A and B are shown apart, each in its own frame.
Chain A
């Protein structure tokens, strides 16, 4: 593993250089037929790879990507026949495709999962209709014919340059901060947001980027072919072929789409030559088989992933950490925020204030006029029966929900109306009751995302290096390069804590970490919580059912029942409170005096 990490960069660079030389030399040695075959392959690759930025990196299945190709082709041709010179026409193709993408972003990114796929399914038919019916602009079904010209060679070189640019962009995405935001969104959008990533701009920029490349590819293709019509530009059975190619190779991998396109285009060529009929049927069969038997694509096939010479093809990301200073498990965390210092704790300063915060789902009031103050440096235990509104309160504080009533103030600032990522950058960190790590990323990457997008806002390289200190702090030093979905439950919970800490919160919301852990593991966790406060002055609210764990560390107890605060007192007083005993803690011996007291 380590070897492939250090050797992958020169190998990849040498490979791309060799690829560039072959592409450049081909027209010098080959006739027009092979050139036009490779030209088509290059165009298909640009479409496939640009689609895969949205799917493979960001996790959105866009079934309408091909429309951007057609839009680019139309914009280019319609300007060219009206006498606009070549260069501005090409520029217009890029611009119009990006414009279409940014307009479509607003409706489409309201949708999630399958609904996004439904929505995007309509784009290609819609464009075909518009191209056919807006005859004054698009010349309708008869199509647009460019003046006769022979431009195969220049079009080929243009496509070749664009292919290299596409590869370079993919390479950049696989090792950049922006690329990690995309991968965080793919893995868990809500956690990406509470880690401080502003989602919408990432999504719009990604869709625009992919549309620009596809639009230019369409323009180059139309220039070479010198004819376009609605049917060929917006043909749905063709539209999904670049997608199939990317998935065949391996969606989300550096060379996956390229290898998939080479294989599938070659197959198509062979079929065209060998078969006189039913090419489509065989082609369709191949696509069916890819869907059925290659879930992660060819490059994720275990024969390749386990082969020491080929394994780097199956790498999910290409970030290289480089040498980081050896850290020990008890070294201080590399926190940058100036207020995270034990000596600066002001015990009277109110970090969080809830003023009659209320949240209802339909008629069900989950949090009812909750008013609490949390002071700097406190560890507050938040307890209550199941369904009493603890996690809902966390969701209100971290901006997942907007309160239906009341206010929540962080350091005196009203946070209503702020997005979850803005609240994260204000210094609110949280963990999830059921751990939600970015499953397909490594422990280091999960922590680095929290670090790079949270209040710390470290550059990616520094975040990747310092992630190790956070991993060690929670006891994941040995698992730092392991994928998060391979961790045990306890390790995942530790990772949640590390990710949240890496964002340098001043207030940390910890949601049920102890349930399911052994006594020893609970003890370790309690120590972590204590250390977070004692060493770095981070204020903590801890939701927990294992009362013995809470009792070891909290200063104060807030008890919720049916969404309302029924007690808010120092630990010693709270455990004696009658209502708390009745609704939550229970009595060791229910005696008559108690019943009398209630009456």
Chain B
């Protein structure tokens, strides 16, 4: 077996991991800021991917144009979803709040999958972009994948800078660390939470389009992505973007290697086993990359 194939496998793992990280960012912020266990998070990616595929099939537009078309409605949907359903739960006790969140997000998962399944069909879809191919020796890389990777990196950098320097980004970080303290300092906590939820949902829509450009999507595939995203944020530290990026890429590469060297059917087991093992070793999550 040649080194070229290994590089190829590593590259596809890198790409997959980048998309996982994008999914995890949203969940990480939502859990870190609003303390919401959003079980429907991955399903939102699946739905966005299916809708993007349909738009592409109907219009043939460049997927880059489809992204903003999708992000805005999903952002709004996230905001309303939080305001109408999740925000009122905050007045309950901790255990009741968790249970309410689980019920609402599970109900939303079932609804979204079913409605999309009825409207768009349950078949697998994707965005079949024709792409030029870059060749480095025997390693073949479609140009699309390079663009996607660049996009993910760009988005991560922007998000990181935004959280670090922008007023709202600082507010979000403050709420993550101490909601009450942040409120006392004049941050509108509920609004920050709602906007974070909406922003996290918008990010997932971006990830959905990118995902559909590489892998097939269907309305029912979302939950396994949610589990992956949870694994990533537990490894990378809740609310920690750099940690999520590293953990996401590690997971993507590990899955690609497993699929290649062992069997594709065992690849999904990586995240599940990893999550269990890490939780066992580090019951409060693994904050390898502590927030500064």
Bound: A15/B111 CA distance, A: 36
Q: How far is the CB of B157 from chain A (nearest CB, A)?
A: 28
Any chain A CB within 8 A of the CB of B234? yes
Contact partners of A114 in chain B: CB under 8 A: 35, 37, 98
**Interchain CB contact under 8 A, A247 and B272:** no
* CB atoms of B104 and A292 under 8 A apart: yes
Say whether B223 faces chain A, with CB atoms less than 8 Å apart. yes
The answer to whether residues A126 and B269 also contact, given A284-B110, A295-B100 and a CB cut-off of 8 A, is yes
B63 is an interface residue with CB less than 8 A from chain A: no
A278 contact from B115, B223, B227, B285, Cβ within 8 A: B115
The segment out of B53-61, B202-210, B274-282 that lies at the interface is B274-282
Is the pair A287, B269 in contact by a Cβ cutoff of 8 Å?
no
CA distance in complex: A183, B118 (Å): 44
Give CA–CA (A588, B155) in the complex, Å.
64
**Alpha-carbon separation in the docked complex, A61 to B93 (Å):** 14
Residue on A with the closest CB to B94?
Answer: A113
Q: In the complex the two chains form, what is the Cα distance from A55 to B103 in whole Å?
A: 14
Q: Verify B114–A107 contact, CB threshold 8 A.
A: no
Q: Hey, which chain A residues are within 8 Å of B106, CB to CB?
A: 237, 240, 244, 284, 287
- B93 CB to closest chain A CB (Å) equals 9
Tell me what chain A mostly uses at the interface: helix, strand, loop, or mixed: helix
Query: Cβ of B130 < 8 Å from any Cβ of A?
Result: no
Q: Is A286 an interface residue (CB 8 A)?
A: yes
Tell me, rounded to whole Å, the shortest Cβ–Cβ distance linking A439 to chain B: 9
Q: Which residues of chain B from 61 to 118 have a CB within 8 Å of any chain A CB?
A: 85, 88-89, 92, 94-96, 98-104, 106-115, 117-118
Is the C-beta of A161 less than 8 angstroms from some C-beta in chain B? no
Q: How many residues of A contact B (CB 8 A)?
A: 47
Residues B99 and A291 in contact, CB atoms below 8 Å apart? yes
Q: Is A281 an interface residue (CB 8 A)?
A: yes
Indicate whether B150 reaches chain A with its CB closer than 8 angstroms: no
Q: Which residues of B contact A289 (CB under 8 A)?
A: 107
Asked if residues A118 and B230 are in contact (CB atoms below 8 Å), the reply is yes
Q: Give chain B nearest CB distance to A363 CB in angstroms.
A: 16
A186 to B95, CA, bound (A): 9
Q: B224 in the interface, Cβ–Cβ < 8 Å?
A: yes
Asked if A75 lies at the interface with its beta carbon under 8 angstroms from chain B, I say: no
* Cross-chain contact B95 with A281 (CB below 8 angstroms): no
In the bound complex, CA of A278 to CA of B273 (Å): 34
Is the pair B102, A122 in contact by a Cβ cutoff of 8 Å?
A: no
A292 CA / B104 CA spacing, docked (Å): 7
Q: B279 and A295: CB pair below 8 A?
A: no
Residues of A bordering B, CB below 8 Å: 55, 59, 61, 63, 106-107, 110-115, 117-119, 121-122, 125-126, 129, 132-133, 186, 236-237, 240, 243-244, 247, 251, 277-281, 283-292, 295-296
Residues of B within 8 A of A (CB): 35, 37, 39, 85, 88-89, 92, 94-96, 98-104, 106-115, 117-118, 220, 223-224, 227, 230, 234, 263, 265-266, 268-269, 272-273, 275-276, 279-280, 283-285
25 contacts between A and B (CB under 8 A): A107-B276, A114-B35, A115-B284, A117-B98, A118-B275, A118-B279, A121-B39, A122-B276, A125-B272, A126-B273, A132-B265, A133-B269, A186-B95, A236-B223, A278-B115, A280-B110, A280-B114, A284-B108, A286-B107, A287-B104, A287-B110, A288-B103, A290-B107, A291-B89, A295-B96
